């Protein structure tokens, strides 16, 4: 199960997260988010992050030109579209050679059949909790609704994942195509600053479970 850590701004904190070797690291380019990167990112450093860690830019209803400019500036591998973007936007971004993660806000009434309109233009989906904000609400949704997911497209699970429920997520991944987890607000000391000790515990838990299953 892959691990994506999202929502850093501070150079020292980003370096500490990179040292943990997540599979994905996410930066938020949405100015209404308390984790908005603004002008804080060190362009040279971000570009130098090892290639085995995929860099993701998170955008909410952004202009495609802005998305592509940020992708180029920071050498991002993925654009995560976290707003109400239509399939055509996903297609236009992907045609420029950028991998696309399309995020959807999930509640009990979510219509999973709508994903068929997107799957040709996305590399993976991300399922987050429907809440007041586009993301970072810190609450899980009822993961049992994912039983309605009948698509082969891999997805990242987001929304309120914490040390308290990671075992439940790992169990879920045995029965559903959970490609990875996206963690953010539940691993922070303040918005945009990750708690490295908590992340270390998360990484150890996930990787020990994977090792145990590989040896079983």
CATH number of the domain enclosing 184: 3.20.20.70
Q: Residue 177 pLDDT > 90, yes or no?
A: no
Nearest Cα to Cα of residue 26 among 205, 146, 180 = 180
pLDDT tens for each residue of 185-209: 999 999 999 999 999 999 999 988 7
pLDDT tens for each residue of 125-169: 999 998 666 555 568 899 999 989 988 899 999 999 999 999 999
In degrees and rounded to multiples of 5, residue 46 shows phi and psi of -60, -40
Residues spanned by the domain of 17: 2-215
The percentage of the chain sitting over the pLDDT mark of 70, rounded to a whole number, equals 96
pLDDT, average across residues 160-181: 92
Number of domains in the chain: 1
- Mean residue pLDDT across the chain: 93
pLDDT of residue 138: 67
Q: pTM for the full model?
A: 0.94
Q: Which residues contact 41 (CB under 8 A, 6 or more apart)?
A: 9, 27, 74
CA distance 35 to 37: 6
């Amino acid at each position: 199960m892959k691990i994506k850590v999202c929502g850093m701004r501070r150079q020292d904190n980003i370096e500490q997260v990179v040292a943990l070797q997540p599979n994905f690291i996410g930066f938020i380019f949405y100015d209404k988010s308390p984790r908005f990167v603004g002008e804080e990112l060190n362009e040279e450093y971000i570009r130098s992050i090892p290639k085995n860690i995929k860099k993701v830019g998170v955008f909410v209803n952004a202009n495609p030109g802005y998305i592509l400019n940020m992708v180029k500036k920071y050498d991002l591998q993925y654009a995560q579209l976290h707003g109400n973007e239509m399939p055509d936007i996903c297609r236009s971004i992907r045609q420029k050679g950028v991998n696309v993660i399309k995020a959807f806000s999930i509640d009990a009434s979510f219509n999973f059949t709508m994903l068929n309109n997107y799957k040709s233009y996305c590399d993976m989906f991300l399922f987050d909790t429907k809440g007041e904000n586009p993301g970072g609400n810190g609450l899980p949704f009822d993961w049992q609704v994912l039983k309605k997911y009948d698509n082969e497209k891999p997805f990242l699970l987001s929304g309120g994942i914490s040390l308290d429920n990671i075992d439940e997520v790992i169990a879920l991944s045995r029965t559903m195509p959970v490609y990875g987890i996206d963690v953010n607000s539940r691993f922070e000391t303040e918005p945009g600053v990750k708690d490295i000790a908590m992340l270390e515990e998360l990484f150890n838990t996930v990787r020990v479970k994977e090792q145990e299953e590989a040896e079983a």
